[in-house]
Structure 1
């Protein structure tokens, strides 16, 4: 492999996953996400950031609660390595938002023990006022309502994700990060490429 090829490969790998990435689903543009566990909206996920933007809960606590449910596939050779909030309008009442994930093309919304994992989240802000809540870490830490749980990144397969707020209408944008599985020896190759770049700079 030439020096130029190594530099090009490294440049691609270090680009932020969210760079110039359009929303995969925006309820204002693409329509309402399903609120039925047995018939979730299918959203195509690709490598890098996959952004889902919508609303959940109910306006002023009046009317039926709006759940958002979607299904996606992690292709062979990839992992789901991150789920995090890109934006979130926290409820004024202090109620937490609920999420659940299941390793199927549907999700049972009446029996949390059948979920892969589930949990509650609240808004967290970094020093610049940006939302950064790591939803993957919350789910990975263990199911809050009796699901089976999981350990580490989520491998290839079909999954369904459900978000719900208890009363108020919440606006959110969630980022799902899909990462290719490193090929054997790729870590060594990247290390050698990095050393080569350092030597060229001196």
Structure 2
């Protein structure tokens, strides 16, 4: 059976549409000054559902050097089925002390099972990272993987719930972390996309053949 060029073109477009349709929920954002202070309670981290695209998290954390009051930020972010986390970009980081090191710890699941401040054991962590003022624009997820427990976790992160601790034991800092999530193509979509790509190639070959014959 011969398939027309128009039919092949329609098949290619349908394949691309299906491949891109997974996880269509839009990206989310959380800003402490608008949405409320992130929880510092181990039993109840602030829940946050991510969507496809760039999901910015903006807040302030750390310890007031003069009073000793600590502001620990705990966010339990969820990647729905069909999504994966590709990176966490440090979009903004401003510490009152340019030489201070902020601490970020990542754990699978919720609630938070480790400690705070000097009392972090690392037993329940997937990994951790320190950031200073020179590290704007880096991928925090990759830096956390550099200090992962054995065996190290894989990037991208698969769907599920994870808890991130954000803290500094000496100073306070402002931050924006952008969680970059993407859809995981369904196996059937991948197959159809491949068919569409082949169909597109056949259309191109046929067009070139027609041009040569004219």
Q: Is the alpha carbon distance of 1:87 and 1:93 closer, same or farther for their aligned partners in structure 2, counting shifts above 3 Å?
A: closer
State the alpha-carbon separation in 2 of the partners of residues 45 and 94 from structure 1: 32
C-alpha distance after superposition, 1:81-111 (max 9, x if no partner): 1111111113425111110111111122323
Q: Is the alpha carbon distance of 1:2 and 1:134 closer, same or farther for their aligned partners in structure 2, counting shifts above 3 Å?
A: same
2:34 aligned counterpart, secondary structure: helix
Q: Which runs of 4+ in 1 moved over 6 A?
A: 7-11, 193-199
Which sits farther off after the overlay, 40-49 or 86-95?
86-95
Structure 2 unaligned blocks of 5 or more: 1-6, 21-25, 116-120, 209-214
User: Within the alignment, does 1:72 sit opposite 2:77 as a pair?
Assistant: yes
In the alignment, what sits opposite 1:155? 158
Structure 1 unaligned blocks of 5 or more: 15-19, 126-130
Give the conservation status (yes or no) of the 8 Å contact 2:89–2:177. Answer: yes
Q: Is the alpha carbon distance of 1:151 and 1:169 closer, same or farther for their aligned partners in structure 2, counting shifts above 3 Å?
A: same
Q: Is the alpha carbon distance of 1:168 and 1:192 closer, same or farther for their aligned partners in structure 2, counting shifts above 3 Å?
A: farther
1:112 aligned counterpart, secondary structure: coil
Give the conservation status (yes or no) of the 8 Å contact 1:61–1:168. Answer: no
Which sits farther off after the overlay, 56-65 or 154-163?
56-65
Which sits farther off after the overlay, 186-195 or 172-181?
186-195
In the alignment, what sits opposite 2:169? 166
In the alignment, what sits opposite 1:97? 102
After TM superposition, the score normalised by the length of structure 1 is 0.75
In the alignment, what sits opposite 1:178? 181
The alpha-carbon deviation at position 141 of structure 1 amounts to 1.9
In the alignment, what sits opposite 1:114? 124
State the alpha-carbon separation in 1 of the partners of residues 38 and 180 from structure 2: 20
Q: Is the alpha carbon distance of 1:64 and 1:152 closer, same or farther for their aligned partners in structure 2, counting shifts above 3 Å?
A: same
C-alpha distance after superposition, 1:99-151 (max 9, x if no partner): 011111112232322111112122346xxxxx3111011112233xx576412
Give the conservation status (yes or no) of the 8 Å contact 1:107–1:115. Answer: no
2:95 aligned counterpart, secondary structure: coil
State the alpha-carbon separation in 2 of the partners of residues 190 and 171 from structure 1: 46
After TM superposition, the score normalised by the length of structure 2 is 0.71
Radius of gyration: which is bigger? 2
| Root mean square deviation of aligned Cα | 3.4
Question: Higher helix proportion, which one?
Answer: 2
C-alpha distance after superposition, 1:35-56 (max 9, x if no partner): 1222101112111111110001
